[in-house]
């Protein structure tokens, strides 16, 4: 420290100002979203198809109840089994990604046994990570310090093996890495040959924004040159549906209706998404720029799962400060709201207060939630909301909230300067395209990010083909038969 202080004292006033300015620039520079890839319910498998679904107000949870099947037509759960039959109705009311048993193991250097015992969440993350790098135009990572920041909360793949009383002779050494939370980040790094920090984050439904927060800090500090931020959530264990039903969280009507008078809970949903981040000067053709992020836990409450208005307000204020913007510059917020009415009322009050929309004369804050389209993706919900916000600022439009009926009467809409869009809403002329994204973990960790439109591209970004689908990898020991 003394040597550093001595070197600083040798600088002229002008040199010192330049040094501090450079340090400030490095600490606050924008982080570009340079690539995206995803797998969501309803066959949504690219940024373009997600944007189309949002603009069309598509609801992937519409339709009759169904049990998802694998690529061989076998149902994910045998709901005729005595211990699974009580869950049949609940399992039919989810939103699922098709063919999650398929994986191109050879492409990523895995043998059949290792691929079969790797959690399919790991396999989806690897596949989407490769697609996201291709979307960003990163054809090779040699010489690049590439960080991996994966968001994952539940590892349910091997629960079926426990239920099936898998014997000693049927165990595999690959079940260790295949069933570990840390395996999510490690699998991406090793399958793609990435060298840099690699870690898995679990703050429940705020995990994706927590991973984003850590990735941005890593890029700004120079720890890595490229960062992959991924999130995945697959619904494999029937008992988890029963737990959430017992908590009174699931929608009996089969729809997630944020901020709606008819809201009665949410529909569980699954999916995967990966972003490629780079420092803004290094980005080729960014979708948008992350201006600021924050993560916060307000621990002074009487229950681990109790909603904290103070925590929600604090995390948004910290993110706005990090972004260097004033609250009324933000035109849209992608809310956490998932269809649980009380939580939605609290969040609406917080957003109006923090974004200074409680006095006359201020422009309205448009608020929406992709959960009305996609259901509640839980650990991946923050990633889906972030992708929606990124695409909204990129295109200068805010998609409509699908199926919105009467607004929740418990929210004082007349007093709050909030609007829920019922149709495609153009961004107001002359305003910066700034959007906020909120995510709340049920154990109390909140995340918020502020994103802004990047400079328009000189040419349209090509739609890259999806990676090869691959072969069936799902051992019979891991089937809920």
pLDDT value, residue 358: 81
How many Cα atoms sit within 13 Å of 216 on the Cβ side?
28
Greatest C-alpha distance within the chain? 80
Residue range 68-88, pLDDT digits in tens: 999 999 999 999 999 999 999
What is the tally of structural domains in the chain?
1
- Is 14 inside any structural domain? no
Residue numbers of the domain that contains 69:
30-460+469-478
DSSP codes, 338-360 = -S-HHHHHHHHHHHHHHTT-SST
> What is the C-alpha separation between 24 and 7, in angstroms, rounded?
19
- Is 9 inside any structural domain? no
Question: Residue 63: which region, alpha, beta or left (left: phi > 0; alpha: psi -120 to 50)?
Answer: left
Q: What letter would DSSP give residue 95?
A: B
Tell me if residue 9 falls in helix, strand or coil.
helix
Q: Structure tokens of 163? A: 């239920």
Cα 287 to Cα 121, 134, 207, 281, 451, distances in angstroms: 25, 14, 22, 14, 10
pLDDT value, residue 28: 62
pLDDT value, residue 461: 72
Please, which residues have CB within 8 angstroms of residue 107's CB and are 6 or more apart in sequence?
Answer: 130, 467, 468, 470
- Is 370 inside any structural domain? yes
Task: Write out residues in the chain with pLDDT < 70, as ranges.
Answer: 1-9, 11, 13-28, 360-361, 457-460, 463-468
* CATH number for the domain harbouring residue 46: 3.40.47.10
Please, which residues have CB within 8 angstroms of residue 60's CB and are 6 or more apart in sequence?
Answer: 40, 41, 42, 44, 53, 95, 269, 373, 374, 375
pLDDT value, residue 419: 95
Q: What angle do CA 127, 130, 135 make, to 5 degrees?
A: 125
In the chain, the N- to C-terminal Cα span, in Å, equals: 63
Residue range 157-191, pLDDT digits in tens: 999 999 999 999 999 999 999 999 999 999 999 99
- Is 80 inside any structural domain? yes
- Contact (Cβ atoms closer than 8 angstroms) between residue 210 and residue 231: no
pLDDT value, residue 330: 96
- Is 25 inside any structural domain? no
> What is the C-alpha separation between 435 and 370, in angstroms, rounded?
14
pLDDT value, residue 142: 76
């Amino acid at each position: 420290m003394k040597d550093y202080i001595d070197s600083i004292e040798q600088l002229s006033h002008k040199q010192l100002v330049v040094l501090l300015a450079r340090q400030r620039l490095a600490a606050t520079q924008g982080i570009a979203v340079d690539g995206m890839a995803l797998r969501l319910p309803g066959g949504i498998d690219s940024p373009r198809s997600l944007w189309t679904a949002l603009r069309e107000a598509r609801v992937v949870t519409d339709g009759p109840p169904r049990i998802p099947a694998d690529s061989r037509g076998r149902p994910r759960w045998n709901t005729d089994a005595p211990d699974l039959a009580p869950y049949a109705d609940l399992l039919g009311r989810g939103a699922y990604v098709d063919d999650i048993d398929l994986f191109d193991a050879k492409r990523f250097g895995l043998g059949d046994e290792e691929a079969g015992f790797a959690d399919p969440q790991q396999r989806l993350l690897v596949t989407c990570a490769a697609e996201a790098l291709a979307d960003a135009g990163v054809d090779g990572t040699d010489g690049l310090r590439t960080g991996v920041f994966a968001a994952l909360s539940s590892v349910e793949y091997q629960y079926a093996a426990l239920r099936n009383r898998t014997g000693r002779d049927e165990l595999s050494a690959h079940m260790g890495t295949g069933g570990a939370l840390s395996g999510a980040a490690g699998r991406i790094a090793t399958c793609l040959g990435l060298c840099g920090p690699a870690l898995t984050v679990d703050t429940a439904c705020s995990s994706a924004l927590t991973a984003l927060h850590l990735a941005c800090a890593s890029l700004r500090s120079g720890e890595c040159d490229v960062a992959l931020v991924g999130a995945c959530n697959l619904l494999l264990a029937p008992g988890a549906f029963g737990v959430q039903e017992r908590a009174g969280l699931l929608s009996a009507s089969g729809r997630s209706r944020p901020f709606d008078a008819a809201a009665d809970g949410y529909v569980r949903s699954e999916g995967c998404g990966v972003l490629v981040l780079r420092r803004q000067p290094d980005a080729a053709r960014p979708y948008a720029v992350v201006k600021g992020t924050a993560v916060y836990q307000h621990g002074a409450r009487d229950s681990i799962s109790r909603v904290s208005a103070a925590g929600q307000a604090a995390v948004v204020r910290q993110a706005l400060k990090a972004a260097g913007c004033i609250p009324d510059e933000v035109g849209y917020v992608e809310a956490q709201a998932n269809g649980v009415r009380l939580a939605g009322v609290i969040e609406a009050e917080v957003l109006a207060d923090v974004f200074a929309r409680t006095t006359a004369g201020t422009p309205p804050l448009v608020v929406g939630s992709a959960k009305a389209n996609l259901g509640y993706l839980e650990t991946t919900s923050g990633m889906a909301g972030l992708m929606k916000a990124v695409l909204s600022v990129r295109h200068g439009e805010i998609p409509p909230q699908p199926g919105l009926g009467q607004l929740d009467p418990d929210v004082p809409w007349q007093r709050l300067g909030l609007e829920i869009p019922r149709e495609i809403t153009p961004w107001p002329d002359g305003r910066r395209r700034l959007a906020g994204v909120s995510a709340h973990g049920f154990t109390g960790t909140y995340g918020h990010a502020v994103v802004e439109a990047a400079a328009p591209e000189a040419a349209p970004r090509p739609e890259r083909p999806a990676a090869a689908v691959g072969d069936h990898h799902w051992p019979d020991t891991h089937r809920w038969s």
